């Protein structure tokens, strides 16, 4: 029997990649909802894809009806950009926590399987050199550092979902994305600084020939994971109903791609030069250093090191990421360069 999957946030970065992979490589049906469909526009028409343009905080009946109707629920609607944790902490709480809690409760009520995005942020400033799903401490800063509202919201949801698993046998899998990058990550053409995550921010800086700003010198490290590797893992989780993935937590990350933010900036500038439309801009892009306070304001606190343990996914899901750092950067830039608007803007800025 074909699986019926509900994807909330089907037009997001992870949602759109997951939706297209399912429609391309599996025979499952997808019921999706999102505020718009611009990232799904290029999908070939498919009878197995049912999409509605809507807001999960408004179209509540549609959401509940489809939780009832589907086999698996994947709620991917969330604010996931650190600049917004510090400027709109209550919006993060309302959407990432409150709106998602109601979906979790529908899954409990109707006995549906839940595949829920936790986050690499959940480990906070954990002292562990390699972050383990079951043993690493979760360490956050003081309340004034509002950045942690995202991690705290996600942590409480992880605990709520876990508790529903223990008490009500909720069938769930929690996955923790570690700095996924790839096509459709953020809007690179958005000129406002700080509106996207680091890699797309750097690419946007190259596009607009603005200096790349390294927060506190760019010594902090992240492990970047290419979206196709991540989607492979999610498909394996979706396939493993009631077995290896049930009531488990998996880091989805690529420890081999642990690089400093300075290194990421240098690689981005170097690889952007391979694309004729970006070459001149990339050659003209400088790197400067700014303090975290200057860049994000006083409510921010950074994470210095973030390396995932992936033994659980390797052992129980047979999954291993394979895309190295430069390939991940190159493929992502290639995607953006192929977008008409992006290359038109790049050409116009190069000419001007």
Q: Which residues make up the interface to ligand UGA (CB under 6 A)?
A: 80, 82, 119-121, 177-180, 197-198, 201, 213-215, 218, 220, 222, 261, 302-303
**Contacts for 305 with CB less than 8 Å, ≥ 6 apart:** 129, 220, 221
| Closer residue to ligand UGA (CB): 264 or 346 | 264
119 in Cβ contact with 92 (< 8 Å): no
Q: How far is CA 28 from CA 20, 48, 51, 258, in A?
A: 11, 7, 14, 34
3-class DSSP assignment, residue 305: coil
| Closer residue to ligand UGA (CB): 197 or 267 | 197
| Closer residue to ligand UGA (CB): 126 or 179 | 179
Least CB distance from residue 109 to ligand UGA, whole Å? 28
| Closer residue to ligand UGA (CB): 39 or 222 | 222
To 5 degrees, how large is the angle CA 133–CA 315–CA 18?
A: 75
What token pair was written down for 77? 């609607």
Least CB distance from residue 285 to ligand UGA, whole Å? 12
Least CB distance from residue 79 to ligand UGA, whole Å? 9
3-class DSSP assignment, residue 211: coil
Least CB distance from residue 202 to ligand UGA, whole Å? 7
Least CB distance from residue 295 to ligand UGA, whole Å? 6
Burial of 127 (0-12, 13-18, 19+ CB in 10 A): exposed
| Closer residue to ligand UGA (CB): 287 or 349 | 287
Least CB distance from residue 92 to ligand UGA, whole Å? 10
| Closer residue to ligand UGA (CB): 82 or 165 | 82
Of the candidates 226, 229, 257, the one whose C-alpha atom is nearest the C-alpha of residue 313 is: 229
150 in Cβ contact with 119 (< 8 Å): yes
Of the candidates 223, 224, 218, the one whose C-alpha atom is nearest the C-alpha of residue 292 is: 218
Least CB distance from residue 183 to ligand UGA, whole Å? 15
Least CB distance from residue 180 to ligand UGA, whole Å? 6
| Closer residue to ligand UGA (CB): 40 or 80 | 80
Query: For residues 222 and 209, what is the distance between their CA atoms, to the nearest angstrom?
Result: 24
Q: For residue 322, what is the DSSP state? A: -
**Contacts for 186 with CB less than 8 Å, ≥ 6 apart:** 13, 81, 195, 196, 197, 200, 201
| Closer residue to ligand UGA (CB): 119 or 155 | 119
């Amino acid at each position: 029997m074909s699986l019926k999957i509900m994807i909330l946030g089907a037009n997001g970065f992870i949602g759109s990649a997951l939706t297209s992979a399912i429609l391309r490589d599996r025979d499952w049906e997808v019921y999706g909802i999102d505020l718009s469909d611009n990232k799904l526009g290029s999908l070939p028409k498919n009878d197995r894809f049912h999409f509605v343009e809507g807001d999960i905080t408004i179209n509540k009946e549609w959401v509940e009806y489809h939780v009832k109707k589907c086999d698996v629920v994947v709620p991917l609607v969330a604010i996931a950009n650190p600049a917004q944790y510090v400027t709109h902490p209550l919006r993060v709480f309302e959407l990432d926590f409150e709106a998602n809690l109601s979906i979790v409760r529908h899954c409990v009520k109707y006995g549906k399987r839940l595949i829920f995005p936790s986050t690499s942020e959940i480990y906070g400033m954990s002292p562990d050199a390699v972050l383990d799903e079951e043993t690493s401490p979760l360490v956050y800063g003081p309340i004034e550092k509002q950045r942690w509202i995202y991690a705290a919201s996600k942590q409480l949801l992880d605990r709520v979902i876990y508790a529903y698993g223990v008490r009500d046998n909720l069938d769930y899998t929690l996955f923790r994305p570690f700095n996924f990058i790839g096509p459709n990550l953020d809007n690179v053409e958005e000129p406002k600084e700080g509106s996207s995550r680091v890699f797309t921010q750097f690419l946007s800086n190259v596009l607009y020939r603005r200096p790349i700003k390294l927060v506190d010198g760019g010594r902090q490290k992240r492990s970047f994971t290419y979206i196709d590797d991540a989607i492979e893992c999610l498909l394996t989780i979706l396939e493993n109903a009631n077995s290896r993935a049930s009531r488990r937590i998996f880091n989805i990350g690529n420890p081999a791609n642990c690089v400093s933010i300075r290194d990421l900036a240098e690689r981005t500038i170097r690889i952007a030069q391979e694309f004729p439309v970006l070459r001149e801009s990339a050659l003209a892009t400088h790197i400067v250093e700014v303090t975290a306070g200057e860049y994000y304001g006083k409510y921010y606190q950074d994470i210095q090191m973030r390396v995932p343990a992936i033994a659980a996914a390797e052992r129980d899901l047979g999954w291993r990421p394979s895309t190295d750092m430069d390939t991940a950067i190159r493929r992502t830039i290639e995607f953006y360069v192929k977008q008409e608007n992006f290359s038109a803007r790049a050409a116009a800025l190069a000419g001007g």
